[in-house]
Every structure is written in structure tokens, then in C-alpha cells.
Amino acid sequence: MKRALICGISGQDGAYLAQFLLGKGYEVWGTSRDAQITSFANLAILGIRDRVNLLSMAPNDFRSVLQALTRSQPEEIYGLAGQSSVGLSFEQPAETLDSILQGTLNLLEAVRFMGGTPRIYHASSSESFGDLGGRAATEETPFRPRSPYAVAKASAHWLVANYRDAYGLFACNGILFNHDSPLRPPRFVTRKIVAAACRIAAGSQEKLELGRLDIARDWGWAPDYVEAMWRILHQDIPDDYVIATGRTATLEEFVARTFAEVGLDWRDHVVISPRLLRPSDIVWSGGDPTRARERLKWSASHFLPDVVRLMVASEKQSLGKGP
């Protein structure tokens, strides 16, 4: 039985990854900053809360990281912990850089200190590319980050590459583009849109406030993407991979599809609010997953229409309106 440690198991990706690895027969360990008070609601929703070994770990505390690795003795480590909101990173830049960059460094140093045998997956991010101007990013596309979150992720990405080259660690970056599910926190715009549309369809008189609708993203389905993480660690040679659907759509299209899914015209229920505009934003972002398709034998199986349909169905069910 293989043993895996998921750092940041309480989030969307951590929960789906735990479910996936359990299905593969793994012994799964997971961390949060305080495992005694964290609800692990996502693990409970997936019905796996009692099948995972949980530890407290502060990513920016080297002793804490070393202790978590010593207790779990993993063969595979998935580094998913850290502040995950682009918008929030403008309000909390220091915490964002500390949790992502220092957390990644501590994990790499702990593995090196212990002998360097576990394979490490690091959650890099498409945000590091910045605005791509209509050209899909590959693994060779330069980084031009436009938020504190993206700066932190770009720096952590190069730390992983450096430790791989300098110390021979099996350390890989998964450069994931946007991927969503019903487990997304409400502060993320996709979940915010879906939740509001379902409430309005159920009778709420509210208006949905949004910022820019012209931004374009490559939206995928989170359960697809956690399989890619696992495949990345099961190659003969460690490397970095863009994980994306290869299809890009505007936020306006996401909004229109969501409201259409509940039988409404979005233009009757959405207002644009200047207070929701960010200091800087990415207009167009999209990924070229050719390397993943050719080497990992991985391709997305869900695209924007599927993501919207599945998220709406789950939201309706949670409101007691669905099957």
C-alpha cells in the first residue's frame, strides 16, 4: 500500500485528490494548520472523512513541516497548501507570499534533509503567466505575474525547479489552469455566480454584483485535474506540466450559461460593480496541454458546459430544489 501526504487536504483539490488516491488503494495522510478545529467539510461531503489520517501542519514553520513528514513517512507528497485567492492576495500580500513561498521552501528543505526519497508535486498556477493575449501557454511560456498570489506561485515554481536540478529531488510543478467544482468556496467567482443564480431561480430578489465580464479563462473540472497530479508523479523523469482543457471562454459566457441552466436571462439579474475591480487583472488566459496529453496520456473530460451543469445541479440539490 502506497502512502501519500496531501498538504492542504481541506481545500477543493485536496479533498478530490484524497478521494482519488483512496480509490487507488493508497494510505492517505493530510494536513491543515490546525487539524483539531478544522471541520474538513469537503472530506465529509465526499464521505471520506474517516478514511484519512489527519495532521496539523503550518507550512511556514519548518519544524512543523518536518514533524508532519516524519509522522506520515510518505512516498508521495502533494503540496497544495497556502493562500489560494487571487483577490485576497491584494489585501494580504505578506501572508500570501509567506504561506506559498516559505511553505514550498520548507517542504523542499524537509525532504532534502530527510534524504530526498519522496516524490513531490507542487501546485504551480496559470496565474504566473499573466495576460497571455490570446496565445495559449505552454511549459516554455515566460511568467509575467500580475498579483501577489501569482508572484508567490511563480517564485515557488522556480524553487521546485531549482531543488530538482541542484539536489536531484523528484519534484514537479503542475501548472493548473482554472478548475472548479461544487467544493469551491463561495468567495470564488464561479461558485458565487452559481449560488446566486440558483437562489434567484428559487425566488430571491437579489442582484448579482460582478466586476469585469470580458475576462477569459480556461475552465476545467477539478476531479479531472487531480488525476493529472497523480500522473505527473508517476513518470520516469520529473518535469513540469500545463494542465488545461485547451478551450477558453469569457466570464460573460460562464454567467450566461449558468443563468440559462436555471431558466433565466442573466441580463435581468446581474449588475457591474466598480468596487469589485482588481488593481490589475488578466484579460485572457488559456493553456496548451499538449505535453500532458502526449506524456501523461491525460486530457480533460469535462469542459465549460459540463462544469456549469454539474455545479448548478449540486447547488440546486443543496438548496433542496434538485433531485
pTM for the structure as a whole: 0.96
The domain total for the chain is: 2
User: Residue 171 half-sphere exposure, CB side, CA atoms within 13 Å?
Assistant: 27
**pLDDT recorded at residue 82:** 86
Residue 288 lies in a domain: no
In a shared domain, residues 90 and 200: no
Determine the pLDDT at residue 198. 97
All three cell numbers of 7, joined, read 498538504
Half-sphere exposure of 121 (CA within 13 A, CB side): 32
Residue 220 CB contacts under 8 Å (≥ 6 apart), including other chains: 177, 178, 179, 180, 243, 244, 245, 300, 302, 303, 307
Packing angle of the helix pair 189-201, 304-318 (nearest 10 deg): 50
Tell me whether residue 152 is in a domain: yes
State CA 231 to chain mean position distance.
Answer: 16
Q: Is the pLDDT of residue 321 over 80?
A: no
87 located within any domain: yes
Q: What is the DSSP string of 129-173?
A: G---TT--B-TTSPP---SHHHHHHHHHHHHHHHHHHHH---EEE
Regarding whether 269 and 166 lie in a shared domain, the answer is no
pLDDT band at 274 (very low <50, low <70, confident <90, very high): confident
Catalytic residue among 64, 124, 125, 126: 125
Per-residue pLDDT, 275: 83
The 10s digit of each residue's pLDDT in 48-87 is 999 999 999 999 999 999 999 999 999 999 999 988 788 8
Q: Establish whether 149 is a catalytic residue.
A: yes
Same domain, 16 and 110: yes
Same domain, 100 and 239: yes
Which residue range(s) make up the domain with 264? 185-218+248-283+303-318
Are 225 and 212 found together in one domain?
Answer: no
Residue 280 reports pLDDT greater than 90? no
Is 70 exceeded by the pLDDT of residue 323?
no
- Extended strands (E) in the chain: 3-7, 27-32, 53-56, 76-79, 119-125, 171-176, 179-180, 208-210, 216-217, 220-221, 241-243, 249-250, 270-272
Instruction: Tell me if residue 125 is catalytic.
Output: yes
CATH code (residue 91): 3.40.50.720
Whichever domain contains 266, its CATH number is 3.90.25.10
- Interval 135-162: pLDDT, tens: 999 999 999 999 999 999 999 999 999 9
Q: How confident is the model at residue 166 (pLDDT cuts 50, 70, 90)?
A: very high
Q: 19 with 156, same domain?
A: yes
Using CB atoms within 10 Å of the CB of residue 135, give its burial: 0 to 12 exposed, 13 to 18 middle, 19+ buried: exposed
Query: Are both 133 and 41 inside the same structural domain?
Result: yes
Note whether 93 and 139 are same-domain residues. yes
Q: Are residues 263 and 129 in the same domain?
A: no
Residues 198 and 228 both lie in one domain: no
Instruction: Mark whether 84 and 29 lie in a shared domain.
Output: yes
pLDDT at residue 293 is higher than 90: yes
Is residue 293 in a domain?
no
Q: State the chain's maximal CA–CA distance in angstroms.
A: 60
Pair 16, 45 in one domain: yes
What pLDDT, on a 0 to 100 scale, did the predictor assign at position 44?
Answer: 98
Report pLDDT for 279. 72
Name the catalytic one among 27, 127, 261, 315.
Answer: 127
244: which 3 cell numbers? Answer: 488545461
- Contact (CB, 8 A) for 43 and 61: no
